[in-house]
Amino acid sequence: MKIFHDVHTHNIFSNCCTDKGASTVAFLNKEAELGMRTFGLSNHIWDERVKGASYWYRTQTIAKAEEAKNAFSQADPSLKTLFGAETEYYACKDLLGMSEEGASHFDYLLIPHSHLHMRNEVMRDFPEILEARAVIRARLAEQFPYLSESQVNAMAAILKEADILKIFPELEINYKHYINKAMVDGFLSLLENTDFLKVIKNLPVSIAHSFSPCGVPHVQKNAYLELISDSTFENCYRKAAGLGVAIEINVGAVREVNTDLDQNQLIRAYRIAKDVGCSFTFGTDSHSVKGLELIQYGGEIADKLGLVKSDIAEFLQDAVEE
């Protein structure tokens, strides 16, 4: 299969993009050069109507993202343009960063459940870190008796995991267990979130980079995923299929896990998703103009999974070739 779409892309309107040349026009030109039929821009967006955005998200609003769309008129006529968003789901608060009204601004949405590096938003502190933080809080209270309880709490809370591990280098954390549990629990709770269930009725939604744990070193991801059973993947993906929610094949994430697709645990996951009837979208998750070239590996992944046109989300079926 040949993939002629990329609907997971970030340009300079995303705070994590470091390619200064990544304007919308540069993306459109590159996509035309690559022979793409459909291009979807999906910057990180937290709907300004929804309270609770982190500091990182508070400037990445729909109003700002819409500026990027103005350049769509300059696209080559052969290239279809879609205005999308990669929004957010804070599993710790069961909070979707997109309202039903906000979603109406877009052609489609990508919703992740695995931005695990967003601690205490997407994933809670590891239990051992929580305990260590409590010890630090007690020490601070003892050392600085003139500080209020809320000041002490704020000081203890501001320490990052890495800071705590410097104070308690002997801490042993069962990373694999907690990371996998957070991904599975987050996936399932997203599918039950009230706002999510409203949004999916109105526009195509794809779960972004499912089971690709952000914040885990690339070389360890495969080993972590080996511990998630087929039946767990099946339970998650069957529910997504039942809701008509697509699963993203994130080319960038697949290649981070393992370039040998026979050994790649994400391929095992996506294969199970296919078997239970999920549909798929393809995206590079590129944050640069050059990164858009990664889509060339999409066809190899589709073939490894044995995908046919009907396995692709309906809105993108004209942007693949068997």
Q: Which residues bind Zn ion (CB under 5 A)?
A: 86, 112, 285
CB of 143 to Zn ion, least distance (A): 40
- How far is it, in rounded angstroms, from Cα 227 to Cα 211? 12
Tokens of 320: 């693949």
CB of 26 to Zn ion, least distance (A): 18
Q: Residue 247 forms beta bridges with which residues?
A: 207, 280
- How far is it, in rounded angstroms, from Cα 297 to Cα 23? 24
CB of 114 to Zn ion, least distance (A): 7
CB-based contacts of 70, cutoff 8 Å, min separation 6? 24
Q: Which is nearer to Zn ion, 97 or 112 (CB)?
A: 112
Q: Which is nearer to Zn ion, 122 or 156 (CB)?
A: 122
CB-based contacts of 108, cutoff 8 Å, min separation 6? 7, 40, 82, 84, 203, 204, 205, 206, 281, 315
Q: Which is nearer to Zn ion, 16 or 167 (CB)?
A: 16
- How far is it, in rounded angstroms, from Cα 160 to Cα 130? 11
Tell me how crowded residue 145 is: count the other CB atoms within 10 A of its CB.
Answer: 8
Stretch (H or E) spanning 162:
helix 161-167
CB of 137 to Zn ion, least distance (A): 32
CB of 10 to Zn ion, least distance (A): 6
CB of 101 to Zn ion, least distance (A): 23
Q: Which is nearer to Zn ion, 17 or 129 (CB)?
A: 17
CB of 42 to Zn ion, least distance (A): 7
- Strand spans (E) along 103-229: 108-112, 205-208
Q: Which is nearer to Zn ion, 133 or 287 (CB)?
A: 287
Q: Judge whether 180 and 126 are in contact, CB under 8 Å.
A: no
Q: Judge whether 60 and 17 are in contact, CB under 8 Å.
A: no
Q: Which is nearer to Zn ion, 102 or 213 (CB)?
A: 213
Q: Which is nearer to Zn ion, 112 or 186 (CB)?
A: 112
